[in-house]
Chain A
């Protein structure tokens, strides 16, 4: 592995390729080190993000979708990505680079199912999104508080029970009452939902799994101005 490898000795091109491999292998410290090397070589945070990290995780995403990578491996990749992002995020903000996107996500009130939601967090972080995980059993107040505190681009809600699904509508209706519904992309998910339900409650999209959640989030944010995903996927 990269243990015995002197990252400084690599050309830019080889270093970026190495980072793609290290992300694939879920090597957090190696990614952090490489990000620092590139910053030292005066790469812009934005280029590091798009060319090294987002592109590396795109490859991970493809192999996850194709059933080559296992969930625990992708979890490590996402953690490595997250570590790289933690270094870049303040710098990106300073340089006024386009945003990757921020998401708040939680399981709604009355519901404690969180395995699927946690997978969504993992994949979204893997794609470079900043994810604020509100956990389980969230009343609308928790969503409102998190919106105020974190100013997200995306609001994600998860529900696995037919008895708690309708609560997603309560949250959306509250956003409407406050006149802020259209400021956010609202994504919903959970096995008992379907597209018709998502439309009926006024969500922007239903996502059947975590990979679709990433794709949908990217596509919907790209429609808005100034997102990295727009340029990265353009």
Chain B
């Protein structure tokens, strides 16, 4: 090794202090999103996929989809040539696919306030985002409790600091301490202020969606309108769930229309608890999912041609002995693979997956189940992987330890998706020639040049000897994760924001919050 040191010579700014600083720095800078370089894994062939497409069209034509409580939606469908009977819309075979293929973008850029962190949704790209929606939070010290705005801000900060999460997510936990009709302001502001990654907007009422858009407009200022298209840039992607089976309801349709008309992205997700909201089989779940998604996405394109969309699929199995959702099971993984392929054939970006589990604490169940969904999601070529970090208890709790454990795994998966380096350096012929038979590679020039980034290293796994582990307090993974998230929050520094912009956002919130009374209903 002294050999190698001689090669480098003595440089300014080197030595122990500099190396310690660079090696211990918490934030590793990385790419804003993943560009996959490994093949996609598929479970169905052409015949299987077209069978499901055919069946989904049969469902749309014969059974129909309910568009509930939204007269405008029914009129739009009637004009588009669908057969509308009361609230049930029957779409002629092929109509939805045709509308989507003529109008929907195959991929889109979701802009972040820091342009270096904008993400591309679609194509060979994958974006990891934190878990969405949990009313409870969990950590080793305090156990399970309702989430607060402080927890919400903490998870935004952790996602901002994680090099492996590309997106700030949406409802990272529910801030139950704030009034229901105003909490969206503080949630959106937290994403804008404590992170500079892209985020998701409010969907629980059309006026809350409108507030989300307005705040994004203030955040982007002059950059809001894209001069090339004359339309607003897409700065928000929002989660619009179907009320499966075969129903889109007024709340979701209201938010959807607000976002579509402002050129913001709608992520339309049929959320299937197999057995309750779709048949118990993989093919049946795929058929229901595809039919609902086709109807939802085509509707977006009728409302606002060209508005960005993602086809989502969230499939979970169900305990037929209690009705509880179950995760990490093989059948939903098959749904995921099939739906990813169907979205590609349709020509729209695809969302699924996540570190899903039913475990209450970050234990072995949590890890196994999460891995059993994250791996298929990555192999399937999923473009947007919501719920990548933090998910516990079927989405009822956001776990601090689980969050950093999942984020650590996301780093592994990112490296896996980066594929195999076949460059000259990757081939490493010079190393093989240099070392030859019977020696080792640790000191050769090639290793010296590559060792730091050669293997993805977990920030949480313990690979030390038994004795060292014993001496360091016999900590398990979740205990090490506990120390890690606390350290991260301690070291957190907010990304800079233009004071004028910040003030405009705060003004807007104060004004809007003052315009109507607090309410929890």
Binding stretch for chain B, among A29-37, A124-132, A142-150, A163-171:
A163-171
Instruction: Kindly provide the distance from the CB of B472 to the nearest chain A CB, expressed in whole angstroms.
Output: 37
Given the interface contacts A110-B251, A191-B396, A192-B396, does A116 sit within 8 Å of B323 by beta carbon? Answer: yes
Binding stretch for chain B, among A69-77, A89-97, A176-184:
A69-77
Given the interface contacts A166-B180, A167-B521, does A67 sit within 8 Å of B323 by beta carbon? Answer: no
Q: Please tell me if B321 contacts chain A, counting CB pairs below 8 Å.
A: yes
8 Å CB contact of A119 from B146, B243, B251, B323: B323
- Judge whether A166 and B322 touch: CB under 8 Å: no
Binary B-proximity of A11-44 (CB < 8 A = 1, otherwise 0)? 0000000000000000000000000000000000
Q: Please tell me if A5 contacts chain B, counting CB pairs below 8 Å.
A: no
Chain B residues with CB under 8 Å of A170's CB are 521
8 Å CB contact of A71 from B176, B243, B322: B322
Chain A residues with CB under 8 Å of B273's CB are 115
Q: Please tell me if A204 contacts chain B, counting CB pairs below 8 Å.
A: no
Secondary structure dominating the interface of B: loop
Chain B residues with CB under 8 Å of A116's CB are 323
Please measure, in the bound complex, the distance between the C-alpha atom of A110 and the C-alpha atom of B203, giving whole angstroms: 12
- Judge whether A163 and B204 touch: CB under 8 Å: yes
- Judge whether B321 and A67 touch: CB under 8 Å: yes
8 Å CB contact of B321 from A71, A112, A163, A169: A71
Please measure, in the bound complex, the distance between the C-alpha atom of A169 and the C-alpha atom of B519, giving whole angstroms: 12
A132-172 contacts to B, CB under 8 A, are 162-163, 166-167, 169-170
Chain B residues with CB under 8 Å of A70's CB are 320-321
B394-409 contacts to A, CB under 8 A, are 394, 396
Task: Count how many chain A residues have C-beta atoms less than 8 Å from C-beta atoms of the other chain.
Answer: 22
Instruction: Kindly provide the distance from the CB of B125 to the nearest chain A CB, expressed in whole angstroms.
Output: 32
- Judge whether B135 and A192 touch: CB under 8 Å: yes
- Judge whether A71 and B323 touch: CB under 8 Å: yes
Binary A-proximity of B456-470 (CB < 8 A = 1, otherwise 0)? 000000000000000
Chain B residues with CB under 8 Å of A209's CB are 322
| Minimum CB distance partner of A193 in chain B | B135
- Judge whether B135 and A162 touch: CB under 8 Å: yes
Chain A residues with CB under 8 Å of B331's CB are none
Please measure, in the bound complex, the distance between the C-alpha atom of A170 and the C-alpha atom of B322, giving whole angstroms: 30
Among A72, A163, A209, residue most surrounded by chain B Cβ atoms (within 10 Å): A163
Q: Please tell me if A109 contacts chain B, counting CB pairs below 8 Å.
A: yes
Binary A-proximity of B505-521 (CB < 8 A = 1, otherwise 0)? 00000000000000011
Chain B residues with CB under 8 Å of A72's CB are 320
Q: Please tell me if B61 contacts chain A, counting CB pairs below 8 Å.
A: no
Please measure, in the bound complex, the distance between the C-alpha atom of A72 and the C-alpha atom of B520, giving whole angstroms: 37
| Minimum CB distance partner of B134 in chain A | A192
- Judge whether B176 and A115 touch: CB under 8 Å: no
Q: Please tell me if B292 contacts chain A, counting CB pairs below 8 Å.
A: no
Instruction: Kindly provide the distance from the CB of B393 to the nearest chain A CB, expressed in whole angstroms.
Output: 8
Chain B residues with CB under 8 Å of A192's CB are 135-136, 396
Please measure, in the bound complex, the distance between the C-alpha atom of A69 and the C-alpha atom of B146, giving whole angstroms: 33
8 Å CB contact of A162 from B176, B251, B322: B176
Instruction: Kindly provide the distance from the CB of B361 to the nearest chain A CB, expressed in whole angstroms.
Output: 17
Please measure, in the bound complex, the distance between the C-alpha atom of A191 and the C-alpha atom of B320, giving whole angstroms: 18
| Minimum CB distance partner of A170 in chain B | B521
Chain A residues with CB under 8 Å of B277's CB are 115
Please measure, in the bound complex, the distance between the C-alpha atom of A71 and the C-alpha atom of B280, giving whole angstroms: 13
Please measure, in the bound complex, the distance between the C-alpha atom of A71 and the C-alpha atom of B136, giving whole angstroms: 27
Q: Please tell me if B76 contacts chain A, counting CB pairs below 8 Å.
A: no
Instruction: Kindly provide the distance from the CB of A221 to the nearest chain B CB, expressed in whole angstroms.
Output: 24
Q: Please tell me if B249 contacts chain A, counting CB pairs below 8 Å.
A: yes
Chain A residues with CB under 8 Å of B251's CB are 110
Binary A-proximity of B261-286 (CB < 8 A = 1, otherwise 0)? 00000000000010111000000000
Binary A-proximity of B176-195 (CB < 8 A = 1, otherwise 0)? 10001000000000000000
Please measure, in the bound complex, the distance between the C-alpha atom of A221 and the C-alpha atom of B521, giving whole angstroms: 30
- Judge whether B323 and A115 touch: CB under 8 Å: yes
Instruction: Kindly provide the distance from the CB of B24 to the nearest chain A CB, expressed in whole angstroms.
Output: 39
B322-360 contacts to A, CB under 8 A, are 322-323
Q: Please tell me if B57 contacts chain A, counting CB pairs below 8 Å.
A: no
Given the interface contacts A170-B521, A192-B135, does A115 sit within 8 Å of B321 by beta carbon? Answer: no
Q: Please tell me if B369 contacts chain A, counting CB pairs below 8 Å.
A: no
B223-278 contacts to A, CB under 8 A, are 243, 249, 251, 273, 275-277
| Minimum CB distance partner of A69 in chain B | B321
A52-78 contacts to B, CB under 8 A, are 64, 67, 69-72
| Minimum CB distance partner of B136 in chain A | A192
Chain B residues with CB under 8 Å of A167's CB are 520-521
Please measure, in the bound complex, the distance between the C-alpha atom of A197 and the C-alpha atom of B160, giving whole angstroms: 33
Please measure, in the bound complex, the distance between the C-alpha atom of A72 and the C-alpha atom of B318, giving whole angstroms: 12
- Judge whether B521 and A166 touch: CB under 8 Å: yes
Please measure, in the bound complex, the distance between the C-alpha atom of A109 and the C-alpha atom of B394, giving whole angstroms: 23
Chain B residues with CB under 8 Å of A162's CB are 135, 146, 174, 176, 180
Chain A residues with CB under 8 Å of B135's CB are 162, 192
Chain A residues with CB under 8 Å of B394's CB are 191
Chain B residues with CB under 8 Å of A71's CB are 275, 320-323
Given the interface contacts A115-B276, A192-B136, does A166 sit within 8 Å of B321 by beta carbon? Answer: no
Please measure, in the bound complex, the distance between the C-alpha atom of A170 and the C-alpha atom of B519, giving whole angstroms: 11
Please measure, in the bound complex, the distance between the C-alpha atom of A169 and the C-alpha atom of B275, giving whole angstroms: 32
| Minimum CB distance partner of A197 in chain B | B146
| Minimum CB distance partner of A169 in chain B | B520
| Minimum CB distance partner of A115 in chain B | B276
Please measure, in the bound complex, the distance between the C-alpha atom of A70 and the C-alpha atom of B324, giving whole angstroms: 12
Instruction: Kindly provide the distance from the CB of B146 to the nearest chain A CB, expressed in whole angstroms.
Output: 8
Chain A residues with CB under 8 Å of B520's CB are 166-167, 169
- Judge whether A112 and B323 touch: CB under 8 Å: no
- Judge whether B243 and A112 touch: CB under 8 Å: yes
Chain A residues with CB under 8 Å of B243's CB are 112
Chain B residues with CB under 8 Å of A115's CB are 273, 276-277, 323
Chain B residues with CB under 8 Å of A210's CB are 323
Chain A residues with CB under 8 Å of B396's CB are 191-192
Instruction: Kindly provide the distance from the CB of B359 to the nearest chain A CB, expressed in whole angstroms.
Output: 15
8 Å CB contact of A163 from B180, B249, B276: B180
Instruction: Kindly provide the distance from the CB of B256 to the nearest chain A CB, expressed in whole angstroms.
Output: 15
Q: A72-B320, A167-B520 are in contact. List 6 more A-B contacts (CB 8 A).
A: A64-B321, A70-B320, A115-B273, A162-B180, A167-B521, A192-B136
Q: Which 8 A-B pairs have the closest CB atoms?
A: A166-B520, A192-B135, A70-B320, A162-B135, A162-B174, A163-B180, A115-B276, A67-B321
Binding site for A on B (CB under 8 A): 135-136, 146, 174, 176, 180, 204, 243, 249, 251, 273, 275-277, 320-323, 394, 396, 520-521
A-B pairs with beta carbons under 8 Å apart, 11 shown: A67-B322, A71-B275, A71-B321, A71-B322, A109-B521, A112-B243, A115-B277, A115-B323, A163-B174, A166-B521, A192-B396
